[in-house]
Amino acid sequence: MYPDPNAGARAPHDYQAHPYRLIGGPGSPYSMKMRAIMRYRRLPFVWLQRFMVEDSEFAHVVPQMIPYLYFPDEGVIRNDSTPLIYALEKRHPERSIVPPDPADAFLAHLIEDMADEWGTKIMYHYRWFHEPDQIYYGPYLARGRHGARPREFIAKQGDAFRKRQVSRNALVGATDANRPLIEKTYRLVLDIFDRQIEHSYYMFGTRPSLADFGWYGQLQPTAHAPGGGALMRELAPAVWQWIQFVDDTSGVEGEWRDPGEPLSIAASELLTLAGALYLPLLAANARAVLDGLDMVEIDALGERFAQTPFKYQHKCWNWLLDELAEIQGEPRRRLQGILEAHGCWQILTAAL
């Protein structure tokens, strides 16, 4: 599992007087994810856009990537959204976003992880592959980074953003060869959530989980891209509205699902997607990292996908395996049945 940043006893802290500080921006999927989580959990925090904070405040944090969360009781800044989620869970058990059932907790984490690592390819593609999206998002991110500046300055900085991000397309996997699979999965995810919203806004009951927030985080900035947003409004207008709702669910009161009930539409179909696409990619990436290969290649949903290996995705794979190994007894037997039915169990357990 994720390393525990909360080891050691701490004196009680007055979070009302000295709240968390979340540093991010509207163009960052993980910033949007964390802000929505902090709002739902009703944790006292201050939202600071990236340009409102001096670089020196978090120059020591690795990697240099928003969002940053300042822990006021420790006087430290950390980032990486999923470890932050679990750190907050240990500090604040109220209004948890992790289902209490161990099997459902694993399923929610797997779906959230797929959002973070595959959903982000969808988000990136709809920003930086098509020229109209590039033209829009360069200045958009420049304003998020620098604030109110003259138009000429934003244009120059936006062009620099655009060139840098487009140069990373191949690294992320947003290539012309991978375009059919990425665009196919975007349409598939839109359809899944569009049908889910007919019954419930959430996957694991009448309250949101980290799985819901994970996909919200990736779909929210995708909705702002000219191409991705137009496609969302055309194919799944309910998802466009769902994004606006999930942005602030501080007023939501709800219950977790009964683990004996059938899975929701979104949970079931996203797990099927994980079995067909995401877990095979993680497994192939792990082999490539361990064997020192230069390329990861898989066939999924009738398409070919190739990218360079990601060390961070190898960590994600190991975290999932560690969590699965810890689940025992009846929850594990129940979880095995679900994962087998969705094509995930054999891939996961082959590595254990």
The answer on 289 and 153 residing in a single domain is: no
* C-alpha closest to that of 217 among 196, 183, 247: 247
2, part of any domain: no
The answer on 238 and 181 residing in a single domain is: yes
14, part of any domain: no
13, part of any domain: no
Q: Report the distance separating Cα 98 and Cα 208, nearest Å.
A: 9
Give residue-wise pLDDT tens across range 3-28: 454 544 456 789 888 999 999 998 89
Give residue-wise pLDDT tens across range 51-85: 888 877 877 887 778 899 999 999 999 999 999 99
The answer on 46 and 180 residing in a single domain is: no
The answer on 182 and 118 residing in a single domain is: yes
The answer on 62 and 143 residing in a single domain is: no
The answer on 113 and 155 residing in a single domain is: no
5, part of any domain: no
Number of CB atoms found within 10 A of residue 104's CB? 26
- Which CATH number is 86's domain given? 3.40.30.10
* C-alpha closest to that of 28 among 172, 144, 166: 144
pLDDT value of residue 144: 86
| Structural domain span for residue 310 | 102-126+175-349
Q: Report the distance separating Cα 222 and Cα 330, nearest Å.
A: 39
**Distance from chain centroid for Cα 91:** 21
Q: Report the distance separating Cα 256 and Cα 107, nearest Å.
A: 13
What residue ranges in the chain does DSSP mark as E strands?
20-24, 45-49, 68-71, 76-79, 296-300, 303-307
Banded model confidence at residue 352, pLDDT cuts 50, 70, 90: low
Do residues 23 and 81 lie in contact, with contact meaning Cβ atoms separated by under 8 Å? no
pLDDT value of residue 10: 58
pLDDT value of residue 51: 82
314, part of any domain: yes
Number of domains composing the chain: 3
